[in-house]
Amino acid sequence: MQSLAQSPTDPAFVQNPYPFYERARRLGPFFRWEDYGLVCTGNAAAVNAIFRDRRFGREPVDPLPVPPHLAPFYAVEAHSMLELEPPRHTRLRNLVLRAFTSRRIAGLAPDIAQLAEELIRAFPDGPFDLLQGFAQPLPVRIIARLLGVPEEMAPDLLRWSNAMVGMYQAGRTRAMEDRAVAATEAFVAFLRGYIDQRRARPADDLITQLIAAEMEGERLSTDELISTCILLLNAGHEATVHTIGNGVKTLLETRTPLSALGPDSVEATVEEILRFDPPLHMFTRHAYEEVEVMGHTFRRGDQVGLLLAAANRDPGQWDQPDRFIPTRPAKPHVSFGAGLHFCVGAPLARLELQIALPILFRRHPTLKLAARPAYADVYHFHGLSALRVTT
């Protein structure tokens, strides 16, 4: 197997990682990313196969040692559905899916439209950052409504979430770790108190449903409940913020006609946005036994990096993969993962994009870039640091 060196914090890579993915692709289905010391693949067939193969999973074979100063963060992670395998994963996911029904998600459509209109009316005259004015507040306020968390908490939720996801970024520092731990402790304290309030005063929201399930003897502990709420709040808006930003940038740079966001075409356009420049570029899996995939043998305990953005541009799967083509025929991408851990929030993210983007461009059809967009140094996430526009 061949190796490639590429710092994930290198400025050129941060702004455009796709040339590196193409260099890696030429080495075969798998390569060793030296900077991570990790076998990786951006091959669409390999990524899909590993996602769906139960011989791979999120939990490490041998528990990793946790430095004492990070104990509060990993205490929450220990109960996170994202990091678990069956049977615990099954129970938590089934409880969450009771709230993420298609009916409940569809019922949020008027809220998404109303909130998009409200945010757009507040746009200032002159250049402004669309991330702060639109992409960030919309998904966090919607997921807060779904869970039943007060919307006035949105700034705190954003701040805590941004600090916590810093733990997954390349080149994290002790200062970033300390911010993540402080955010985790504040988040847990808020939710512990809020869950107590919801026990006393139930409502029609996800937190109340999870509490009810716990009380019905499904053995969902308070710690599991807190971790699940944190995961849904963080994952429920973090990726959508990046996708709105990346998507608007792409639509403006490619001069995509407004007709691409019409009622008959918006679903295809949103799927192409998700494929073309997704918000998450790497996900990892552990091998639970010896397994061979496309000529490479993984031993029990080996880890593999699945390069989602590279798989979404695999020419073996896509025609002209480096072009943004809103009319592209429907075909599955891996921006939401696949298999057991397929993103439970995918229907909500899609709905937010399908409703909010047409409203944005209908209200401001002459929207244009006011400065060259720059991506933030947040790999293995991929999102803009700002998106300055004028209307």
pLDDT tens figures, 309-329 = 999 999 999 999 999 999 999
Phi-psi bin for 255: left (phi > 0), alpha (psi -120 to 50), beta? Answer: left
329-343: pLDDT as tens digits: 989 999 999 999 999
The pLDDT score that the predictor gives to residue 46 is: 98
Helices (H), the chain: 11-15, 18-25, 44-52, 71-77, 88-97, 102-106, 109-121, 130, 137-147, 154-165, 174-200, 206-213, 222-253, 266-276, 308-311, 346-363
The pLDDT score that the predictor gives to residue 137 is: 95
The pLDDT score that the predictor gives to residue 213 is: 75
**Which residues on adjacent β-strands are paired with residue 39?**
32, 304
Collapsing DSSP to helix, strand or coil, 223 comes out as helix
- How far is the C-alpha of 170 from the C-alpha of 83, rounded, in Å? 19
Residue 67: pLDDT over 80: yes
Q: Name all domains of the chain by residue range, CATH numbers in brackets.
A: 3-390 (1.10.630.10)
104-123: pLDDT as tens digits: 899 999 999 999 999 999 99
205-225: pLDDT as tens digits: 888 888 887 656 666 788 988
Residue 20: pLDDT over 90: yes
Nearest CA among 66, 139, 373, 89 for reference residue 248: 373
- How far is the C-alpha of 227 from the C-alpha of 78, rounded, in Å? 8
- How far is the C-alpha of 226 from the C-alpha of 236, rounded, in Å? 15
The pLDDT score that the predictor gives to residue 107 is: 92
Nearest CA among 81, 66, 237 for reference residue 159: 237
Which band of pLDDT confidence, cut at 50, 70 and 90, is reported for residue 98? confident
Average pLDDT along the chain: 94
Residue 152: pLDDT over 80: yes
Q: For 279, phi and psi rounded to 5 degrees? A: -85, -15
Between 372 and 234, name the one with better pLDDT. 372
Region of poorest pLDDT, from 46-60, 78-92, 291-305: 78-92
The pLDDT score that the predictor gives to residue 217 is: 62
Nearest CA among 136, 128, 138 for reference residue 369: 128
Region of poorest pLDDT, from 127-131, 216-220, 237-241: 216-220
283-308: pLDDT as tens digits: 999 999 999 999 999 999 999 999 99
- What percentage of the chain exceeds 90 in pLDDT? 85
The pLDDT score that the predictor gives to residue 218 is: 65
Residue 51: pLDDT over 60: yes
Q: How far is CA 63 from the centre of its chain?
A: 25
